[in-house]
Amino acid sequence: MTPPPSSGLLTSPTTESVTDILITKNTVTRKDSASSCGCTSTKPAPAFDERMRQRIEKHPCYSEEAHHHYARMHVAVAPACNIQCNYCNRKYDCANESRPGVVSELLTPEEAAHKVLVIAGKIPQMTVLGIAGPGDPLANPEKTFRTFELIADKAPDIKLCLSTNGLMLPDYVDRIKQLNVDHVTITINMVDPEIGTQIYPWVHYRRKRYKGLEAARILHERQMEGLQALKEADILCKVNSVMIPGINDQHLAEVDQVIREKGAFLHNIMPLISAPEHGTYFGLNGQRGPTPKELKALQDQCADSNMKMMRHCRQCRADAVGLLGEDRSQEFTKDKFMEMAPQYDLELRQEVHAGIEKFKEEIKLAKTKVKPSERTKDSPKILVAVATKGGGIVNQHFGHAKEFMIYEVDANEAKFVGHRKIDHYCQSGYGEDATLEHTIKAIADCKAILVSKVGECPKAELREAGLVVVEAYDVIEKVAREFYDQYVQKS
């Protein structure tokens, strides 16, 4: 299995084609051998038609599979906002798509287009350009649409994407369609305006400021109208919802049902991130965010109802660049990218994408070679933490990981269910004990940690904390399922 040409994703040593995992006590060794055939899952794959598959296959947010391979970038061209959310501080980026406390550098549409053309050359696996702030894109329609026009003209293979609070959406669906923007996100935190009064203190609509129930009702009606209009225009709509314990956590299952009935393609339930230093109303008033367990329980509950649930969102910045799990925005600050010449090359980009698609096929094939376990009934589900820098491979050194992907594994499949942010263990070549403690805490509910390599010291401490350390360099689902079989046999 070889990495795609010039992808830059798989920079580690050559992928070992097939690897068996043998576990003795908490130690894992590998031996090369061929695996026998079988299917990894008894569940039917979601039934997408070919057209739908093509619309999402290179969008890292709309397709969980794509997020291992393709990157997105945002340009921060939209400073103003027309509502107030209690989890937002105007000094920072729109918290509907960003972590609070993050500030992006504002660009003009022309600067933004230049940046996109630079990055399209440097990161050819970047396939999507999103506008997500720092305010609301549709409260800044001219800047937003001018940026899209410039990019559609100069870089036609890049998909355009937009994220909005929805207040002005019904007014702009025709324009969005005209510009060939095929992916729109609306943040919908309630379908009951009473609940909305606890989230939105005011909205500014048609030159007038509304407060309380009236404000929440206007926002709700406009969001529903916008969602309906997107469906009628055949534009894919993702809905983001911020989970706020004690306010809308019990209500989001109803939101999920309503938005699905109205034609949303994907639901992304994100955790409220709230701290006093963010200076938000919720942060200053002690409103907590959900625990990973609470978030997963709600996502599971909604995912059971049908359709797709997004679990790989990284709540990125309004100037994010790169794969979802990485942040390369600091390589492309304004002073840097304005000095760089655009290197957009459609042919080269298509070549790289063809390489990625081939690589995805190889990964798919490797997954089919993992046999389902014999114990398929009542087999326990376990969580494992995975260090990866992309490509769907366990390919990252423990000390270099800034986050772990969490997979839920059972007798039939290994399913991505979330991610946990951690601090770098390896700081300037030295392991940090406090960081290790934090890492162990963050993945304490996992049975194993899957890494390409780990030093002897952290390995001993991870084992001490009850985690099995699996060192491998192979397809994530394959390593996870092989570990699972060993785990079940031993328990």
Member of 21, 56, 71, 88 binding ligand SF4 (CB under 6 A)? 88
Q: 417: which residues sit within 8 A by CB, 6+ positions away?
A: 296, 299, 311, 383, 406, 407, 408
Segment contacting ligand SF4 (CB under 6 A): 19-27, 89-97, 271-279, 361-369?
A: 89-97
Q: State in Å, rounded, how far the first CA of the chain is from the last one.
A: 33
Q: List the structure tokens of 197.
A: 């009064």
Residue 450 as a binder of ligand SF4 (CB under 6 A): the answer is no
How far apart, in whole angstroms, are the C-alpha atoms of residue 467 and residue 472?
15
How far apart, in whole angstroms, are the C-alpha atoms of residue 387 and residue 428?
19
Member of 96, 125, 127, 287 binding ligand SF4 (CB under 6 A)? 96
Q: Given its phi and psi angles, is residue 48 left (phi above 0), alpha (psi -120 to 50 degrees) or beta?
A: beta
DSSP 451: E
Q: Between the CA of residue 474 and those of 15, 396, 489, what are the distances in Å?
A: 7, 11, 22
Q: 206: which residues sit within 8 A by CB, 6+ positions away?
A: none
CB atoms within 10 A of CB 408: 18
Q: Given its phi and psi angles, is residue 100 left (phi above 0), alpha (psi -120 to 50 degrees) or beta?
A: beta
Residue 7 as a binder of ligand SF4 (CB under 6 A): the answer is no
Q: Which is nearer to ligand SF4, 187 or 439 (CB)?
A: 187
How far apart, in whole angstroms, are the C-alpha atoms of residue 448 and residue 450?
6
Residue 299 as a binder of ligand CLF (CB under 6 A): the answer is no
Q: List the structure tokens of 85.
A: 């959310």
Segment contacting ligand CLF (CB under 6 A): 26-34, 41-49, 307-315, 455-463?
A: 307-315
CA-closest candidate to residue 74, choices 156, 179, 163, 188: 163
DSSP 389: S
Segment contacting ligand CLF (CB under 6 A): 205-213, 312-320, 462-470, 471-479?
A: 312-320
Segment contacting ligand CLF (CB under 6 A): 49-57, 313-321, 458-466, 477-485?
A: 313-321
Segment contacting ligand SF4 (CB under 6 A): 79-87, 119-127, 177-185, 343-351?
A: 79-87
Q: How many CA within 13 A on the CB side of residue 324? A: 30
To ligand CLF, the closest distance from the beta carbon of 260 in angstroms equals 17
CA-closest candidate to residue 183, choices 62, 17, 334: 62
To ligand CLF, the closest distance from the beta carbon of 379 in angstroms equals 32
Contact code string over 179-218 relative to ligand CLF, x by CB under 6 A: ----x-x---------------------------------
Q: Which is nearer to ligand CLF, 97 or 477 (CB)?
A: 97
How far apart, in whole angstroms, are the C-alpha atoms of residue 29 and residue 4?
28
Q: 184: which residues sit within 8 A by CB, 6+ positions away?
A: 161, 162, 163, 164, 169, 176, 230, 235, 236, 237, 238
Residue 309 as a binder of ligand CLF (CB under 6 A): the answer is no
Q: Which is nearer to ligand CLF, 74 or 251 (CB)?
A: 74
Segment contacting ligand SF4 (CB under 6 A): 84-92, 321-329, 347-355, 395-403?
A: 84-92
Three-state secondary-structure class, residue 55? helix
Per partner kind, with CB cut-offs from 5 to 8 A, the member of ligand CLF, ligand SF4, none near residue 94 is ligand SF4
Member of 315, 388, 395, 452 binding ligand CLF (CB under 6 A)? 315
Member of 56, 85, 158, 417 binding ligand SF4 (CB under 6 A)? 85
CA-closest candidate to residue 271, choices 308, 244, 304, 301: 244
Contact code string over 39-78 relative to ligand CLF, x by CB under 6 A: ----------------------x----------x-x----
- In 264-347, DSSP assigns E strands to 266-271, 308-310, 321-322
Q: 200: which residues sit within 8 A by CB, 6+ positions away?
A: 83, 84, 85, 86, 215, 216, 219
Query: What are the b/e assignments for 91-109, b being 16+ CB within 10 Å?
Result: ebbbbbbbbbbbebbbbeb
To ligand SF4, the closest distance from the beta carbon of 139 in angstroms equals 8
Q: Between the CA of residue 30 and those of 18, 20, 25, 471, what are the distances in Å?
A: 10, 6, 14, 8
Residues 156-185 that bind ligand CLF (CB under 6 A): 161, 163, 183, 185
Per partner kind, with CB cut-offs from 5 to 8 A, the member of ligand CLF, ligand SF4, none near residue 88 is ligand SF4
Member of 313, 411, 422, 450 binding ligand CLF (CB under 6 A)? 313
Member of 1, 321, 324, 411 binding ligand CLF (CB under 6 A)? 324
Member of 267, 311, 314, 353 binding ligand CLF (CB under 6 A)? 314
Segment contacting ligand SF4 (CB under 6 A): 77-85, 190-198, 357-365, 461-469?
A: 77-85
Q: Which is nearer to ligand SF4, 211 or 441 (CB)?
A: 211
Per partner kind, with CB cut-offs from 5 to 8 A, the member of ligand SF4, ligand CLF, none near residue 218 is none
Per partner kind, with CB cut-offs from 5 to 8 A, the member of ligand SF4, ligand CLF, none near residue 165 is ligand SF4
Q: Which residues bind ligand SF4 (CB under 6 A)?
A: 81, 83-85, 88, 94-96, 135-136, 165
Q: Which residues bind ligand CLF (CB under 6 A)?
A: 61, 72, 74, 97, 128, 130, 132, 161, 163, 183, 185, 238, 268, 313-316, 324
